[in-house]
Amino acid sequence: MKSTESRRTLPAWAGAALLALLAGGLLAGCQPVAVAADPSSYRGAVLTQPQPKPDFTLTDTSGAPFAFRERTDGYVTLLFFGYTSCPDICPLQMANLSAALRKQPATVQSAVKVVFVTTDPARDTPERLRGWLDAFDHDFIGLTGSPAAIAAVEAAAGVAPSRPVSRPDGSYLVEHAAYVIAYGRDNYARVQYPAGVRQEDWAHDLPKLVEGS
Amino acid sequence: MSVRPIRTSLVRGAGAVALCALALLGALSSAGRAAAADPPPIGAVEVGALRVRDARILAPAAPDVAAAYFTIENHGDVPDALVGVASAAAATTELHSTVARDGRLAMLPIERLDIAPGAEVTLAPGGYHVMLLGLHQPLQAGDLVTLTLYFERAGPVTLRVPVRPRADG
């Protein structure tokens, strides 16, 4: 018995150590390569594979259908999933993006569309969505739909499905992917912007997104 | 979380007793009078060995949800911790941390925020924040929100948190 245990224990330790070494080696090996691949390029996270812009239709804040791929065709399209009752990350992302966009030349501004898809359709009525987006930019597009339709859009865009989390007081918060997906004018996404992205990062990348695709 | 109302009422009770005692005795302690009369300080406050500074709420885009941020400095020799938050401005006031899990961001309530001696802890967008959920009225830049912080060692302290335009970060 004892020898069996120690035999089991040893490979487990060895496996863990090997994994740690591998992970360390991979990280150490990959990071410089990723940086060296395009050092002067984007500050956002560059995707290993370009992702095609999904084709879906949701409802905009005027209550009209909005065919995403068709209506944003040829524009740099910044897609974000979130909800208006989100106190921290969602307004942070939208505020940084809108502030940076406003400082761009008109040629850049007019080439960019920002699309916010709510992950909380029960509370985010078109009116509420419009009011919230207007605090950042009147041109930001807000989309809603049934929970099933929004889940399908999340899947099509390749983000983790959002999920409501109940609270003891009966209210709920929504966990959701919090990065902005940037589709180029050619309708392929190459870059994502996680929650920590700053205004200066947007200022750096927005012209590149417009020029580079 | 359920202890918070009890704590609040205890503190209020103690304050009321103190005020009564002052009135009955006709005490003219200037410190006591100042504490009773002055509105809480704006944006920064000291309690015990702690200093709270840079308190702010970024003008919320939503009519009923906001987040407050500040930095706590511990100038003492012993650890302390932020163990509760309260505000009459919202139905729910909670200390939260924004964390990544399973490809999503989640806001998790946290029971305590430790501040080591000589250290400071910063609540900032994308990290720790005080969530004000169910605001009784919409907030605009220039408004002040009264917020009480409960520290494990230093005790409670109240300050008014200015609402700032978003552009200030």
Enter the ipTM: 0.75
Q: Closest to A136 (Cβ–Cβ): which among B61, B67, B98?
A: B61
Residue B31, pLDDT > 50, answer no
Task: Using an 8 Å CB-CB cutoff, list chain B residues near A157.
Answer: none
> Across the strands, what pairs with A142?
A116
Return the percentage of chain B with pLDDT > 90, whole number.
67
Residue A17, pLDDT > 90, answer no
Cα(B112)–Cα(B151) distance, integer angstroms? 9
Determine the pLDDT at residue B164: 95
pTM: 0.78
Task: Using an 8 Å CB-CB cutoff, list chain B residues near A136.
Answer: 61, 166
Determine the pLDDT at residue A23: 39
> Across the strands, what pairs with B51?
B46, B73
A90 versus A19: which is more confidently predicted?
A90
> Across the strands, what pairs with B52?
B45, B72
Helix-strand-coil split of chain B, %, nearest 5? 20, 45, 35
Q: Is A88 on the interface with B (CB under 8 A)?
A: yes
Its sign, for the CA torsion B131, A134, A95, A143, is: positive
Question: What's the mean per-residue pLDDT of chain B?
Answer: 83
- Can you tell me which residue has the tokens 């302690």? B29
Nearest-CA distance A101 → chain B (Å):
13
In A53-195, where do the E strands start and end?
A: 57-60, 65-67, 76-82, 112-118, 141-144, 163-166, 172-175, 180-183, 188-193
Residue A70, pLDDT > 50, answer yes
Which band of pLDDT confidence, cut at 50, 70 and 90, is reported for residue B145? very high
CB contact under 8 A, A176 and B64: no
Task: Please compute the mean of the pLDDT values over residues A183-190 and round it to a whole number.
Answer: 96
Instruction: Give the count of Cβ contacts less than 8 A between chain A and B.
Output: 88
